Chains A and B, each alone.
Chain A
Amino acid sequence: MSGATLDPRLNPSRAAPKKGMTLSWSDPRLRAIVWQVVIIGAVAAIVWYLVSNTNRNLESRHIATGFGFLFQSASIPIGESLLDYTPSVSTYGRALVIGLLNTLKVAVVGVVLATILGTVVGIGRLSPNWLLSRVTAVYVETLRDIPVLLQLIFWYGLMQALPGPRQALNPVPGVFLSNRGLKVPMLTWQPGYWWVLLAFVVGLVGTLAYRRSARRKQEETGQRPRVWPAAVLLLIAFPGIVWAALGARLAVDVPALRGFNFQGGVTMTPEYTALLVGLVAYTATYIAEIVRSGILAVPQGQWEAGGALGLHRGKVMSQIILPQALRVIVPPMTSQYLNLIKNSSLAVAIGYQDIVSIANTTLNQTGQAIEGIFIIMLVYLTFSLSISLFMNWYNAHIALVER
């Protein structure tokens, strides 16, 4: 801080003469130190007592401790995993990593979808269109008031009501919908695809560079060159040409009914779908209200000013209102993201094997409850702190720059 200090007491020439600390209870500095020592000492004593008491009890009851179980082989069967996993061979550590990835899978997709749905609904509720505003209002007011666990069980029940795999619905060739989930064909990876991917990345860099130059041109001349034809060319046509040049190889793994179930393709399991849909539908209601409040917080004059410039409603919303509303929207949004991640632990109820489910089973099989709960807490703490840090950074990034 620079310049003159406003508070005269902080001015060194006017400060009270310094005295040495006296060893008397009447000296406020001594009292302050004593109190701090006492309180820290009390907290330390309580923590020490709890830890030593726990250790003593664990020992007297012969309950195993330590994290050695992470390297033992686990017999936990896991239904869906992003990594290779064989029950009775892979370790508890690997099972927990799979649980972590399963939580991430639902959290990341859930946050993105809830943000999109919430924003659309929030804007929709402010729409002058009677039907749209009423439909979104009913959606928000109903789903917000029903406990999310009930909603998850409802969605899961709905998934189970689908026909069995042998009578699966087949709306489009290769796509099957049954109570075993949604099966869709999947491209099988060809070596040439690396080049196509590289071409796409090059195209992306090119598009971003072009957009930058377009913006500079707009600032100089007021004319903004069209970006999208170049984007289509760079992002779609260029990788397409590379793919064709390499022989246009295409191999698709189509799901087919074999034995009890479909083999091949990729699956969206009913458990994952129910959890994702439930969390997104629930969290989006809160996000919609946050977006609505953010938009309403922008003064009406901004709309009128935008209109006076000749911009149509959509343009005013996207270019003038939303950027200003973001400053109101972002901070409460952080808590909604945290809520979604924490609510994902309800997956246990509908059989989606997230970190809580797998850690619960682990602590049940090994008996090491304290270690298991510690891992769960550590995972959620890490997720939540990362989200908070990112959102704080983003909030600072979009904050109004005051001059």
Chain B
Amino acid sequence: MTERGFTRSAHRAVGAKIFGGLLAGLLAVVGFGGSAHAQGSGSATLDAVKARGQLVCGVSGDVAGFSLPDSKGVMQGIDAEVCRAVAAAVLGDPSKVKFVPLTTQNRFTALQSGEIDLLSRETTWTLGRQASLGFLFAPTYFYDGTGFLVKKSLGVSDVKQLDGATICVQPGTSTELAIADYFRANNLKFTPIEIENLQQIQQAFLSGRCDAYSTDSSALAGFRYTQGDKASDFVLLPTIISKEPLAPAVRKGDDKWFDIVQWVLFAMMTAEELGVSQSNVDTFATSTVPDVRRLLGADGDLGKALGLDNKWAYNVVKQVGNMGDVWNRAIAPLGVPRGINAPWTKGGLEYAPPMR
């Protein structure tokens, strides 16, 4: 096409259109970053959850006892219950949760990028994750530790006998760090097999590619439980080589949202301590005990202080349960004893600050 084919005014019109389009695009791009939060609770995440009418929660989706869909496709397990409890407190309905299955590798980027509101995926609370990943960890709901599962036929009864063994472990976990440190400290050698996909790594262990399978001991118990009749072919070694406090995580920079997640878990612990459970919560409606009245929203403004309905903790206990209810539903069937996960009043570590 030659220059003469266009009239001068046509040129101008086309030029102005393109230029205008570019300018509008630029403004849109710049404007997108500059838009301020609308008037709301002061928590961007809380506003987003309320506007959406749904909590987006990151779970693993494949570990029995933590999060695994049942035969009806409903996500079950303690991680899923934590998500439901937060939804019950915020939205008044525990079913308003969208579960996003995440691997050990993509869980942190999913939270950093804002894809999920809450990460409840058997995640160990460590200094590094809190300081450099930009997360805040709400209270520990499960005190776990790295264990080893071996086949009975291997004839191993202690971790120290695993010198030279091949060990199946998921990459990107605190488990792999714990094993590396433990074997280094004890001058033992091992060969890792690292596969991200849980089914794949379990298959590698079952087929004999690895001598041992290592992860949190509760997850190992869950795995052994799902083996059914063959469960007795596997031995969970008694030594626990690391501390793995599992806690839900949220992004830094939204303190009010962190408060909510943290206190939902504390409310579940407090309810258990006070003897308020899912089955008997309504009988406490006329209770005169100040602690119970504050928890259930009969007295005080604890809910309002969090930016929630004053019935928030009642909803959590009524619709999801207290910590003991959740434990009995999710973890007890795996044959894992409550141990240090009991409330402090029963000699365990679960201890919530006063709710007043």
Contact = CB atoms under 8 A, between A and B. Distances in A.
Contacts of B132: 62-64, 366-368
Contacts of A218: none
Interface in A350-371: 350-351, 353, 357, 360-361, 364-369
A118 B3 CA distance: 52
A77 B176 contact: yes
A348 interface: yes
B29 A63 contact: no
A45 to B, nearest CB: 6
A85 to B, nearest CB: 11
A74 to B, nearest CB: 9
Contacts of B171: 76, 357, 360-361, 364
A360 B171 CA distance: 8
B291 interface: no
A301 interface: no
A62 B166 contact: no
A392 interface: no
Given A49-B29, A160-B209, A260-B164, A360 B131 contact: no
B194 A351 contact: yes
Contacts, number: 149
A364 B252 CA distance: 17
Contacts of A180: 166, 209
A53 interface: yes
Interface residues of A, number: 55
Interface string B126-154: 00110111100000000000000000001
Contacts of A62: 131-132, 134, 252
Given A31-B15, A351-B200, A261 B191 contact: yes
B180 interface: yes
B172 A365 contact: yes
Contacts of B192: 77-79
Interface string B1-29: 00100001001100100010010011001
Contacts of B47: none
A83 interface: no
A46 interface: yes
B74 interface: no
B105 A361 contact: yes
Interface in A49-92: 49, 53, 58, 60-64, 75-79, 86-89
A28 B3 contact: yes
What is the size category of the interface that chain B forms with chain A?
35 or more
Nearest to B33: A53
B177 A179 contact: no
Contact of A260 (B194, B203, B211): B211
A264 interface: no
A260 B165 contact: yes
Given A161-B207, A259-B163, A77 B180 contact: yes
A270 interface: yes
Interface string B182-197: 0110000011111111
B180 A61 contact: no
A270 B162 CA distance: 21
B251 interface: yes
A133 B332 CA distance: 62
Given A351-B201, A361-B105, A364-B104, A160 B196 contact: no
Contacts of B105: 360-361, 364
Contact of A364 (B108, B181, B251): B108
B194 A79 contact: yes
Nearest to B164: A259
B179 interface: yes
Contacts of B172: 360-361, 364-365
Of the listed residues B19, B131, B208, the one surrounded by the most CB atoms of chain A closer than 10 A to its CB is B208
A14 interface: no
A336 B304 CA distance: 63
Contact of A63 (B134, B165, B176): B134
Interface in B306-337: none
B191 to A, nearest CB: 5
A190 interface: no
B177 A61 contact: no
Given A259-B163, A351-B193, A361-B194, A61 B108 contact: no
Nearest to B195: A351
18 contacts: A25-B11, A61-B252, A62-B131, A63-B133, A77-B167, A77-B179, A77-B194, A79-B191, A160-B204, A160-B207, A160-B209, A179-B207, A179-B209, A351-B204, A357-B194, A361-B194, A365-B172, A367-B133
Interface of A: 25-26, 28, 31, 38-39, 42, 45-46, 49, 53, 58, 60-64, 75-79, 86-89, 153, 157, 159-161, 164, 179-180, 258-261, 263, 270-271, 348-351, 353, 357, 360-361, 364-369
